[in-house]
Amino acid sequence: MAFLPLRRCKSLLLLHSRSKDGELTRALKGMLGYTPVNLLLYKTALTHSSLARSGRSYLPVEHNERMEFLGDAVIGAVVSEFLYLKFPEQREGFLTQLRSKIVARESLSHLALAIGLDALIKAHLNRPFSRNVVGNTLEALMGAIYLDKGYACAKKTFLQRIFLPQVNVDELTKREFDYKSRLLEVVQRKGDRVQFETQEEQHGEVKKGTFFFSSTLRINDEVAGSGSGSSKKEAEQRAAEQAYGKLTMNN
């Protein structure tokens, strides 16, 4: 492991270098909050396959497609853990839907543009780059961070430097996960009938004054979903969530 301190020394020297590597090192430090140790990993992450195909190579010749694969898994793990801890009362369906929204190509592209990642991409393509190019590059960058600094650093960097400064997760959940509204929009567009049958109950073992709600959702008189909760709204949302999941799965 004697080579590691040498790499760190080299990376520190690059911070004060006027070379292209020095410029890239300073740009990455400003973006990520730390000095990269193995700059070659980040060069790979920033190299689009079009450059290799064109013959106008930017060292290293290896492009970022393999690193995208790794970075996609890293982002998925980071977001899954974050959502699991932030929403301890939510069910798997909610967490899965929200994670899918966050890691979607359009969302990653937005994050990449917000941190100025597009300015560092090396590609033989016309600018501005497509959302696929910048989103894929963000995935590759996360792969490079993981290989260079480990999972803890990748997690901290993605959450604190990239994701949370740009996204209000609470507002995102309110906007994206009103299952009742989304279900009604889909069903009514088809001309189907929707009916919620919601009951307020008080069980013997529940203290006086505390009620439990259950809801059954029918589409064209057929049961499409059911749910329960501490409020009428929650019960109907859970019933709508179940029905919406079935509809989207069948479509």
CATH code of the domain covering residue 232: 3.30.160.20
Residue 99 scores a pLDDT above 80: yes
Residues near 196 by Cβ (< 8 Å), separated by ≥ 6?
215, 216, 217, 218, 236, 239
Asked if residue 117 and residue 11 are part of one domain, the reply reads yes
Contact 35/29 with Cβ under 8 angstroms? yes
Of 174, 205, 231, which residue constitutes the final position of a domain? 174
Asked if residue 80 and residue 186 are part of one domain, the reply reads no
Give 15's DSSP letter: T
Of 174, 189, 205, which residue constitutes the final position of a domain? 174
Asked if residue 152 and residue 207 are part of one domain, the reply reads no
Contact 38/45 with Cβ under 8 angstroms? no
pLDDT of residue 176: 61
pLDDT of residue 202: 60
Question: How many domains are there within the chain?
Answer: 2
Asked if residue 235 and residue 206 are part of one domain, the reply reads yes
Average pLDDT, whole number, for the chain?
A: 84
As annotated, the active-site residues are 72, 139
Pairwise pLDDT comparison (160 vs 201), residue with the higher score: 160
Asked if residue 208 and residue 90 are part of one domain, the reply reads no
Residue 56 in 3-state DSSP? coil
Residues near 39 by Cβ (< 8 Å), separated by ≥ 6?
11, 14, 21, 24, 25
Q: 76-80, 195-199, 208-212 — which one is most confidently predicted on average?
A: 76-80
Asked if residue 202 and residue 142 are part of one domain, the reply reads no
Q: How far apart are CA 135 and CA 101, in angstroms?
A: 13
Asked if residue 144 and residue 37 are part of one domain, the reply reads yes
Pairwise pLDDT comparison (52 vs 90), residue with the higher score: 90
Of 144, 174, 204, which residue constitutes the final position of a domain? 174
Asked if residue 186 and residue 65 are part of one domain, the reply reads no
Q: What is the CATH number of the domain that holds 20?
A: 1.10.1520.10
Q: 5-9, 19-23, 39-43, 235-239 — which one is most confidently predicted on average?
A: 39-43
Asked if residue 75 and residue 13 are part of one domain, the reply reads yes
pLDDT of residue 180: 82
* Two tokens, residue 162: 């990239």
pLDDT of residue 22: 85
Asked if residue 240 and residue 164 are part of one domain, the reply reads no
Give 159's DSSP letter: I
Contact 234/242 with Cβ under 8 angstroms? no
Contact 245/93 with Cβ under 8 angstroms? yes
Contact 113/134 with Cβ under 8 angstroms? yes
Domain that holds residue 56: 3-174
Asked if residue 156 and residue 36 are part of one domain, the reply reads yes
pLDDT of residue 149: 96
Asked if residue 156 and residue 33 are part of one domain, the reply reads yes
pTM, entire model: 0.68
Residue 226's nearest CA partner among 186, 199, 190, 191 is 199
